[in-house]
Amino acid sequence: MEAHVKDTAPLEERIGYTFQNRKYLDIALTHSSYANEMKKNLSSNERQEFLGDAVLSIIVSDYLFHTFHLAEGDLTKLRAAMVCEKSLCEFARQFSLGDYLKLGRGEEMMGGRTRPSILADAFEALLAAIYLDGGIEPARRFVLGFVVDTLEHRDEFAFTDYKTMLQEIIQKNPEERLSYVLVEESGPDHNKSFVVEVHLNSNVIGSGRGGSKKSAEQAAAREALRLMGECP
């Protein structure tokens, strides 16, 4: 069983944090199946997972609150996307967390080292370990290293369809016509920037910029809604 326990120095290097009290790291990597099989009164990572869940929520909530001027419902949806099992599993895979987990024989044979739920739980337990060992700031740096990168690579308007919102308002007057016009395209192929205007009949009622035509259209629709007093 012990042969499966790896040197954790490379893990600490990957996450950019060196533990003062390695007990917290050891617990974070100990799955309940391993603790139960060893029968040495070992602590599994379940309690730290509980704490890590709360630490993760406050860090992500604080970041979103101060970064995005969105309604409460949109902030809630975005936070849910950042802290769901799928996202946490992907974060864990980025630094091969599964390779360092201590699993029981049965869990190992059943592919537990790559199971999304186990990886997501271990990520939260590891976050709690950093928090317990070094406080909120290193925990914040650890989490935001994943969250900020993820947000930068997702459509910032994916969680609110401003085009549909605008269309629903305008279609109350059947004679009115909405159209989106691309007025600028710049930048290299790997980092394009688009500017789109939204027209109501022949009048420009909003414009927006984005990394894709779709996101630029959503930005233009949001600007139009804001000017109409329909969007914060």
Looking at the annotation, which residues are catalytic? Answer: 53, 124
Q: Kindly compute the dihedral angle of the four CA atoms of residues 123, 127, 130, 134, in this order, to the nearest 10 degrees.
A: 170
Q: Which of 137, 131, 121, 31 is CA-nearest to residue 83?
A: 121
Tokens of 162: 């401003």
Kindly state the tokens that stand for 17.
Answer: 């944090």
Alpha helices for the chain (secondary structure H): 9-15, 22-28, 32-38, 46-67, 72-83, 85-94, 105-109, 116-134, 136-152, 162-170, 213-227
* CA distance linking residue 85 with residue 121, whole number of Å: 8
**Sign, CA torsion 22/23/29/34:** positive
Binding residues for Mg(2+): 49, 121, 124
Rounded Cα distance, 221 and 14, in Å? 41
Please name every residue paired with 179 in a beta bridge, in sequence order, or none if there are none. 199
Burial code (b: 16+ CB inside 10 Å, e: under 16) for 160-193 equals bebbebbeeebeeeeeeebebeeeeeeeeeeeee
What is the DSSP code string of 78-89? Answer: HHHHHHSHHHHH
From CA 105, how far away is CA 97, in angstroms rounded?
Answer: 18
